[in-house]
Structure 1
Amino acid sequence: MTATDLSTSVPYREVTDANGRVYRVGETDIDILGRKRKWMVILPWVGMMGISSAEYAFASAEDTLHTAHDWNSLHIFWMMTVWVFFQAAVAFPAGRLRESGRLPARWAMMIGASGTFMGYLSLALAPHVVFAYIGFSVLSGMGAGMVYATCVNMVGKWYPERRGGKTGFVNGGFAYGSVPFVFLLTGYMDLTNYRWVLLSVGVLLAAMVAFAGSFFKDPPKNWWPANVDPLNPPEDPRARRSLEKNPPAVKQYTPLEAWRTGRVALMWFCLACTSGVNIFGIAFQVDIGEEAGFAGGIVAAAMSLKALVNGSGRGVIGWLSDRYGRKQCLLAVCAILGCAQFGILWSAEARNLPLFLIFSAISGFGGGAIFPMFAALTADYFGENNNATNYGMVYSSKLVSGLGAGMGAVVVGAWGHSGAFVLAGCISFFAGFIALFLSQPGRPKSRDIQPNPQPLGEEMA
């Protein structure tokens, strides 16, 4: 990967569409980056894989950490809950700093890499559970949130004409990047080696994040690919189909303007519900599998399959949303996620291992696919210029959905796994119902457009 230094600035022009939105055209990706913009998909994908194991593989290390440090099992679930809280909490302020120019993308990634290492360091060496909460839940959570917000928004800025598949691909690294570490933490790590295993993993993942982030660069405000005409249907059939199904925002909304449309609140609520169900499944699928009598290795395989499908499904649903529309795919995902919770419960109660694996994979697909949908919808509805801040508002719903692990433990204790999984399925269906009310602000609905009562020419007769 080589870069080309530009000695002179490249001329550009600004064009305005019928809605008053401004597009900056004329500069190519190579003019700005010195390399193809595909690297702003590959590198964010690597960065996302570097933070994935903290959420998706952490539950796999529960038994070893519980025994090694003599921590109460509830501490393990609440550590994950607090981690998710801080991962979501940092999204909005980080977005504000990024969009203001006070926090360059490269520095955001370096901070994230440091937090990633501190998380594993505290799990390995914490003399008391409080230090684990500070190092893993707080510092690692904030670092992961910094990386997540930076990577997801980076790819959306560089691919404004067909962001769905690209955003889904990058987002997928946050899930299937953890698969090797699920096996490592369940099949290899034990009381004799857990310290050096955790430290080694921390160093490796922090290095991945730092390396990827060192090449990050944002495009200029209002940038649009030079080979895609923003005022006319593009020649590229993929871009043309994507823009027909998911037209660009009518203007660049500020965070306050975006909030006033009411769409941010709807998206916040839907994401809170669905991501809460996803986190609940990550935390308790191992437990319900072991309760059903499945062997520990099989349950670990189910979790790995869930993480793999969770990640790869994000790219698939992103590609499908470019073809069939973001909202339509979101509704389908909510229904799939809800059905999967009932399927996991039914297969576990029936002690049917093949069905348990199948529904685990389906649940992984639904739980992962929601995230690229909301990331792409935010840019589709409100534009790219303030996307880091606007998506930070939507993504902050994980402040609530992170309770899916901690509160899930409370619900399981009161109602058992049956009641908890039934509740999770119903919450997913309700989120789908709320998503029916989503629509792009500022663009008239087709049913509101009245036909001309006088066909062309009659008004001149």
Structure 2
Amino acid sequence: MTTTDLPTSVPYRELTDKNGRVYRVGETDVDILGRKRKWMVILPWVAMMAISSAEYAFASAEETLAAAHSWNHLHVFWLLGVWVFFQAAVAFPAGKLRESGKLPARTAMMLGALGTLLGYLSLAYTPHVIVAYLGFGMFSGMGAGFVYATCVNMVGKWYPERKGGKTGFVNGGFAYGSVPFVFIFKNQMDTTNFRWILILVGLFLTAVVIVAGYFFKDPPKNWWPHNVDPLNPPDDPRARRSLKKNPPSVRQYTPKEAWKTGRVAIMWFCLLCSSSVNIFGIAFQVKLGDGAGFAGGIVATAMALKAVVNGTGRGVIGWLSDLYGRKQCLVTVFFILGISQYALLASANAGNLPLFLLFSSISGFGGGAVFPMMAAMTADYFGENNNASNYGMVYSSKLVSGLAGSGLGALVYGAWGANGAFILAGSIAVFAGFVSMVLTQPGRDKNGKKIEPNPNPISREAM
């Protein structure tokens, strides 16, 4: 039995709505945690910032790493793809272990910290590119996967009535936490100092993950905030509007049940498209800016802006989705991501630096905003109890997108040049926007009305 399953000394009730969904109410966040639940937003946010540099700042270190280790540039791009592959590969098995109680949140975070450290050490001291593929690509990628899966899914459990903005905020840390390292790797690191810079960065980020993860704790299964009635409209206008626009799942779906609805496959495909385009931009925007003749410091600034807006945009779109609906926001960001690829290419071809910086930021927003929407929609559609596994299935699209966006992107860029590659990337994102329009919540019609009614609500006392 894990600490999260241990009964508290505070009485609670289990309410069952007319669809059979159970809500555990009565215990406050302080009763369970010993502190306000906002700490289960702040600490995951800090941990997500710590793992973000491995993906979002990696392209800024590409030239130095290639020169220092005498690597082919394709090796470096494929290295990022391998990292993304293993980061996504961990999501589903980690979710299953977490939900079974075999992998407590704290343990998952310690594994993530170890992977982070091994990744930076391997980049600093690798005798051969194969060691980098193992140390950075596999171990660091898996470590980031443990942290990512734990942080994102925990927030939805602690804020089941208002998960969009909170999930988006935490998810945003995965992007803008890389900002200082973009400048360090691009402008300060060279072949004479890269080892000690990588070691210091690795030690610092590892310590951040350890400290944040030490305080992680899940709520009990089916937990619901004591001050929000799950069977009636809440008094809080923010929660009331969010639940109206994004009603909770009609029941708790297992991964097998979620897959059978058909929604997981659609979400998987859409995330594959957007993630491939996002990773392609991370890997090749620096190259595009260099080809346009922009100075290295300007290119680093563009990447930093991309990361900042990518991260802050996740929080903003999460907040907006609470107000206007998750699906509506998801479709919108797909189109933003696609159109921004065309605009970014056009600004580079024109040598227009202000527009390049602007569309770099917009591209970052579109690329980042998809992830919290998918995470929150997974909980909205299939419930919170199996969310780590269910979102793990959706998020596993990055198994392919990392290799497609970085590795295959390098081949397309080499064969078709920047014009063909960025036009293709934009078209893929726009296509995903059209596909996402067919998504509807299981158990509800397209207007949100329930179509799987069960008996009347039941209330039973428990201790």
TM-score by length of 2: 0.95
2:444 maps to which residue? 443
1:307 maps to which residue? 307
Distance 2:8 2:239 in 1: 30
Cα deviation per residue 1:188-242 (whole Å; 9 max; x = unaligned)? 1111111010000000001101110000000000000000000000000000000
Deviation at 1:186, TM superposition (A): 1.1
Structure 2 residue matching 1:259: 3-state secondary structure: helix
Residue 446 of structure 2 aligns with an amino acid whose one-letter code is K
1:458 maps to which residue? none
1:124 maps to which residue? 124
Cα deviation per residue 1:324-372 (whole Å; 9 max; x = unaligned)? 0000000100010011000011001111000000000000000000000
Residue 344 of structure 1 aligns with an amino acid whose one-letter code is L
Distance 2:92 2:227 in 1: 33
Q: Would the alpha carbon gap of residues 7 and 247 (structure 1) be closer, same or farther in structure 2, given more than 3 Å must change?
A: closer
1:165 maps to which residue? 165
Matches within 5 A, 1:355-370: 355-370=355-370
How high is the sequence identity, in percent, across the aligned residues? 76
Asked if 1 retains the 8 angstrom alpha-carbon contact of 2:187 and 2:296, the reply is: no
1:434 maps to which residue? 435
Asked if 1 retains the 8 angstrom alpha-carbon contact of 2:313 and 2:369, the reply is: yes
Residue 243 of structure 1 aligns with an amino acid whose one-letter code is L
Structure 1 residue matching 2:190: 3-state secondary structure: coil
Residue 61 of structure 2 aligns with an amino acid whose one-letter code is A
Q: Would the alpha carbon gap of residues 35 and 448 (structure 1) be closer, same or farther in structure 2, given more than 3 Å must change?
A: closer
Say if 2:240 is the partner of 1:240: yes
Residue 314 of structure 1 aligns with an amino acid whose one-letter code is R
Q: Would the alpha carbon gap of residues 7 and 422 (structure 1) be closer, same or farther in structure 2, given more than 3 Å must change?
A: closer
Deviation at 1:105, TM superposition (A): 0.4
Residue 446 of structure 1 aligns with an amino acid whose one-letter code is N
2:3 maps to which residue? none
Deviation at 1:135, TM superposition (A): 0.2
Asked if 1 retains the 8 angstrom alpha-carbon contact of 2:310 and 2:367, the reply is: yes
Deviation at 1:444, TM superposition (A): 2.9
- Note the residue ranges of structure 1 that are not aligned, 5 or more in a row: 1-5, 451-461
Distance 2:132 2:449 in 1: 56
Deviation at 1:7, TM superposition (A): 11
2:57 maps to which residue? 57
Distance 2:216 2:449 in 1: 43
Deviation at 1:409, TM superposition (A): 0.3
Structure 2 residue matching 1:221: 3-state secondary structure: coil
1:385 maps to which residue? 385
1:417 maps to which residue? 418
Distance 1:7 1:405 in 2: 47
Distance 1:439 1:211 in 2: 40
1:255 maps to which residue? 255
Which one scores higher on RCO, CA 8 angstroms, separation ≥ 6? 2
Structure 1 residue matching 2:259: 3-state secondary structure: helix
Deviation at 1:20, TM superposition (A): 1.0
Structure 2 residue matching 1:446: 3-state secondary structure: coil
Deviation at 1:18, TM superposition (A): 1.4
Distance 2:342 2:418 in 1: 11
Matches within 5 A, 1:2-401: 9-401=9-401
Structure 2 residue matching 1:439: 3-state secondary structure: coil
Structure 2 residue matching 1:169: 3-state secondary structure: helix
Deviation at 1:187, TM superposition (A): 1.3
What do you get for the CA RMSD once the two structures are aligned? 1.3
Distance 2:448 2:245 in 1: 17
Residue 427 of structure 2 aligns with an amino acid whose one-letter code is C
- Note the residue ranges of structure 2 that are not aligned, 5 or more in a row: 1-5, 452-463
1:408 maps to which residue? 409
Structure 1 stretches (4+) deviating beyond 4 angstroms? 447-450
Distance 1:324 1:393 in 2: 26
Asked if 1 retains the 8 angstrom alpha-carbon contact of 2:8 and 2:32, the reply is: no
Deviation at 1:449, TM superposition (A): 9.0
Q: Would the alpha carbon gap of residues 447 and 374 (structure 1) be closer, same or farther in structure 2, given more than 3 Å must change?
A: closer
Distance 1:445 1:290 in 2: 47
Distance 1:252 1:191 in 2: 53
Distance 1:446 1:286 in 2: 44
Structure 2 residue matching 1:445: 3-state secondary structure: coil
Asked if 1 retains the 8 angstrom alpha-carbon contact of 2:444 and 2:450, the reply is: no
Q: Would the alpha carbon gap of residues 311 and 225 (structure 1) be closer, same or farther in structure 2, given more than 3 Å must change?
A: same
Residues paired across the two proteins, number: 445
Asked if 1 retains the 8 angstrom alpha-carbon contact of 2:165 and 2:319, the reply is: yes
Asked if 1 retains the 8 angstrom alpha-carbon contact of 2:443 and 2:450, the reply is: no
Residue 49 of structure 2 aligns with an amino acid whose one-letter code is M
Distance 1:203 1:296 in 2: 27
Distance 2:445 2:337 in 1: 31
Residue 176 of structure 2 aligns with an amino acid whose one-letter code is Y
Asked if 1 retains the 8 angstrom alpha-carbon contact of 2:8 and 2:31, the reply is: no
Deviation at 1:448, TM superposition (A): 8.3
Distance 2:227 2:265 in 1: 35
Deviation at 1:27, TM superposition (A): 0.4
Residue 427 of structure 1 aligns with an amino acid whose one-letter code is I
Distance 1:444 1:262 in 2: 15
Deviation at 1:445, TM superposition (A): 3.4
Structure 1 residue matching 2:372: 3-state secondary structure: helix
Cα deviation per residue 1:272-306 (whole Å; 9 max; x = unaligned)? 00010000000000001111111111001000000
